Amino acid sequence: METLTFIQFTDIHLGESAAFPPESLRQIKNNLDTALKEINNLKDNVDFLVVTGDAINRGVEAADEYLSYMNKFDMPVYNIPSSHDLALGDKPDGNIILNDDPTTWEEYMGPAKHSFSHKGVHFIFFEPFRKVDEFSSKNTFDEEYSAWLSTELEKVSPGQALVIGYHIPIIPIKKSYTGWDNAEQFLDLLQGYNVTCISGHRHRNDENMINGIRQIQTGSFAGFQWNGMGPHYIFPVRAGYRIFQVKDSKLCSFYKEIGVEDQVVLETINGIHTMGPRPKIRPVILHSDTVLNIKTYSTDSEFTELEYTLGNKKWTSLSKTNSALWEEWEGIVPYDKFHKKFNIITIRGTLANSKMAYDSVPVHIRERNDSLPAEGGPEMTFELMTSASEADFNKCKDQHDFPWAVIPR
């Protein structure tokens, strides 16, 4: 079956807001210009672009500007409104004024809900957004949305790939969910479908299973630039967008960092999503032999070798498992190779043009127990630095490389 390629932008936050400095707006416009060039130069044709909410900061002026940018993309663009998109103004303290009536938004942007099939894949994009009070919001999957979604799901055949896009992700908490009212009803309707849900809102990359349903969260297009602060503060997420490919009813994705030519991302460790690209990281707690899954992407070249080290200068090769728009790699770190309770797994990718790119994720090692699954630790910021001298490398190594790692040369 033909490969389908689509791109998700989320949380662009275009437009002025009293809460954020003008510099952040300039950087977001730069991101749009850079992403436009990157997407036009992609090796594969893009079928469409979906923007899953927070396209703008507030107001119709920003909506106008947003549309003039999106018109430059030579492909269909699907929008859905959520919190900031539905804000018509600023409060004097800089907070936005929330609204849950999409009428004005629809006048500018078109329909607020979409359901269509393309190249054998069915797509449903919608947001059951509700204002809670002037400061907060959540999604409410009420009877009206439930009836609408049930009708749309009748168009999906058994086994057909289905992608549902919304802004606010469903987050499991104890025996319930946060972010959505009636999330259980929504998830119940999706049982038995070959479905992936995609979202934004939290300005983080993540992937998990909720009640058996796969949910992928995508980092903010604005990245840390949304509020003009450096990457190690508040939202330490690099600006990017997610490229999806569906082939033979199987969906894969890659978070492309805007303006970066060569990317190595250690995406999962024993199935736990690391939330990268750095510096936003979820460290992983391990009890057994460990499977690494890495994705690499190069704009102009190709990764020919990928290796890992635990910081002891011994590099071990990993195997390429897939090669398309991006490459996928896999390898196993035997439990006995972890020589201390706290380790940093560093990945080094070598490109055909001899350049190199790196990624690194901290892991905590517990007593061996092969029946225990890996666990995610608390989110943190974690960065890599290079060191030219052996002395610097040893000094950093002795300081336990935390919360950053030195690339051994």
- Which residues bind to Fe ion, rule: CB under 5 A? 11, 54
For residues 329-349, one letter each, b for 16 or more C-beta atoms within 10 angstroms of the residue's C-beta and e for the rest, the string is bebebeeeebeeeebbbbbbb
Q: Which is nearer to Fe ion, 11 or 401 (CB)?
A: 11
* CA–CA gap between residue 65 and residue 88 (Å, rounded): 15
Cβ 226 to Fe ion, closest distance in Å? 7
Least separation, in Å, of the C-beta of 203 and Fe ion?
6
Measured in degrees and rounded to the nearest 5, phi and psi for residue 327 equal -100, 150
Taken as a whole, the chain contains a residue count of 409
Residue 38 vs 54, nearer CB to Fe ion: 54
Nearer to Fe ion, 169 or 283 (CB): 169
HSE-up of residue 332 (Cα within 13 Å, Cβ side): 5
Neighbours of 264 (CB within 10 A): 26
Tokens of 251: 């969906």
Residue ranges with strand state E in 63-105: 77-79
* Min separation Cβ 356 and Fe ion, Å: 33
| Least CB distance to Fe ion at residue 58 (A) | 12
Name all contacts of 61-68 with Cβ < 8 Å and 24+ positions apart. Answer: 61/15, 61/16, 62/14, 62/15, 62/16, 63/15, 63/105, 63/108, 63/109, 64/108, 65/14, 65/15, 66/12, 66/14, 66/15, 67/108, 67/109
Q: How far is CA 31 from CA 14, 218, 307, 332, 370, in A?
A: 10, 16, 31, 36, 44
Nearest CB to Fe ion, comparing residues 11 and 16: 11
Nearer to Fe ion by Cβ, of 11 and 152: the residue is: 11
CB of 224 vs Fe ion, minimal distance in Å: 12
Minimum distance between the CB of residue 54 and Fe ion, rounded to whole angstroms? 4
- The DSSP string of 352-405 is TTS-EEEEEEEEEE-S--TTSPPEE---EE-EEEE-SSHHHHHHHHHTTT-SEE
Minimum CB separation of residue 201 from Fe ion in Å reads 6
273 φ, ψ (degrees, to nearest 5) = -75, 130
Q: Which is nearer to Fe ion, 63 or 246 (CB)?
A: 63
Residue 14 beta carbon to Fe ion: minimum distance, rounded to whole angstroms: 11
Instruction: Give the tokens for residue 232.
Output: 């190690």
Rounded to an integer, what distance in angstroms lies between the CA atom of residue 33 and that of residue 173? 39
- State how far the Cα of 252 lies from the Cα of 399, in Å rounded to an integer: 38
Residue (54 or 401) nearer to Fe ion, CB:
54
Q: Nearer to Fe ion by C-beta: 11 or 359?
A: 11
Q: Closest CB to Fe ion among 66 and 326? A: 66
54 vs 262, beta carbon nearer Fe ion = 54
Q: How far is the CB of 235 from Fe ion (least distance, A)?
A: 9
What would the two tokens of residue 120 be? 């054998």
* Nearest distance, CB of residue 87 and Fe ion, angstroms: 11
